[in-house]
Each structure stands twice: as structure tokens, then as C-alpha cells.
Amino acid sequence: MSLKVKDIDKIMEEHAPSKFKESYDNVGLMIGERSAEITSILVALDCTLDVIEEAKEKKCNLILTHHPLLFRKPLNITNDTLLGKKIIEIIRNGLNVYSSHTNLDSIKGGINDIVMQLLGLKKYDTISLSDKRKDDDHSTGIGRIAVLDEPITVLELCDKIKKDLNISMLRYSGKDEMKIKKVAVINGSGQEYFNAAKRLGADCIITGDTTYHYVSDLNEEGIAVIDAGHFGTEWPAMQVFAKWLKDKLEFMGFSNFVYISEFNRSPYKYK
């Protein structure tokens, strides 16, 4: 039985329905042919030029990313732009690109939930529920918030995050010995949900891509912020998702290999 692009589209739509994406987002098949047979699949956070080359080397004709390659409408597709170079290279080599972004963040068992599980947080609520969910769905939406079984200091929580998410460095605000009882977790860029997390009583927010004034204000209000990076709060969960996809395909009787990108890295370096 051959796996086709349209099969992946169906699997992903059942797992993370596109209706749960945020209004600004773009998800689904970015580039490709729905009737094309899939060789192997490469899972990555971003569709970088390095990831495209990796897909070619590994003979993967489907790249499945979290971040959409086509986020904003391009004005043109030429070799003069980075996006144009990527699109031309993808089409020239018969590759397909599929992205599942904020819809995959939001759903039960998605990126938000996986990060909570990696951090050992089992009982949690959703910060901002999706308006597209059914009445009996109390989990689909952006961000998670949990009461810790035992209070932990800011420094202890920083060490735990580094260990659980396998990251070497992070930045934080708040008094080192302040006891944290309730944490909010928003993978990726979470500043839009800071006020909601504060209203729900979070005394620490774990996210990425924070900026000075937001963090400074929360610091004055006695709320700690741990910035583990956009990459750091999403890539570990995407690796877990890749394992889910592999198991799902095997259960359905497909033998296509699912690779986890070795060349998808954070663009940041620390000195």
C-alpha cells in the first residue's frame, strides 16, 4: 500500500484539524501534489535550505514542519529572495511541504500538551480556549497552566526546564529563591497570552521570544518569566510528534520511514 500526500493531509486533519489554527496562521499543504506518492518523511521545525538539502540526501519527498513555509503571501517567486530560492528548489526536486502550526499547538496531545508532559506536569488547564471547539471540549486552545504538586524556586525550575527540554541555556527574570506554585507554559512566542496567564494566577510564565518591557513589567509585579527560547520550547515536542507519526503510519500499514531532522537548529548562538 503506497502512502500519498493526501493520506498525510487526512491524518493530520484528523489529528490537528485546521479549523483550530489561529486567524493569522497558514497551515496544510504549502507546496506539492496531493496525489504524489511519498518516499520518506522528514520532520522539522522550519523548512530551511539546510532542511531541504537534508530531505534530498535522505530521499524524503515530504517535509513536514511546524512553522509554515508560506506564512505571508509572497510578492514574487525568484532567486532574489530566500523564500523564492526555497520554493524553486522544492519544486525543482519534486518535494512536498506540509505544515501544522497553531492547530498542532492547540489540540489535545499537541505541542502544548507534549511540552507539559516533558516537564512532568500532568494536571493542567488551557489558558485561551479555541472558539472553534465543541461545548464539551475544555482543552483545545493556546497555552497551558498548572498548579505544581510542590512549590519550587525559580532557580530550581530553570534547572528542571534545561534538563527536561534538553537545552543548555535559558534566560529568566524573578527572584532566584521565589517559590513558584502555579506555572503557565506557552510554547514558541507567548507574550500575547501574558495578561491571560496573569489573570489565571500564574506566578511564573515559561515561553520563548520575550522582549524587555513585557518581562520588566511582570518582574515588577512579582511574576517570574523563564524564556527557554522559541526553538527550545517547540523542537523537543516536535521530536515526540515525529514518533507519534511514525507509530500512526505503522499502525495503518504503511512502511515509510519518518526521519527527525539533524540539521534543524536554533539560529541563536551563546557566548
Please check if 15 is assigned to a binding site.
Answer: no
Question: What DSSP designation does 4 have?
Answer: B
All three cell numbers of 69: 513555509
* 230 belongs to an annotated ligand binding site: yes
Closest CA to 100 of 193, 33, 9, 235: 9
Q: Binding site annotation covers 66?
A: yes
Residue 234 counted as an annotated binding residue: yes
Output the nine-digit C-alpha cell for 119: 516537564
H, E, C per residue of 183-237: EEEEEEECHHHHHHHHHCCCCEEEEECCCHHHHHHHHHCCCEEEECCCCCCCHHH
| Residue 138 assigned ligand-binding role | no
C-alpha cell at 135: 461545548
Binding-site residues for a divalent metal cation, please? 66-67, 105, 230, 234
Binding-site residues, please? 66-67, 105, 230, 234
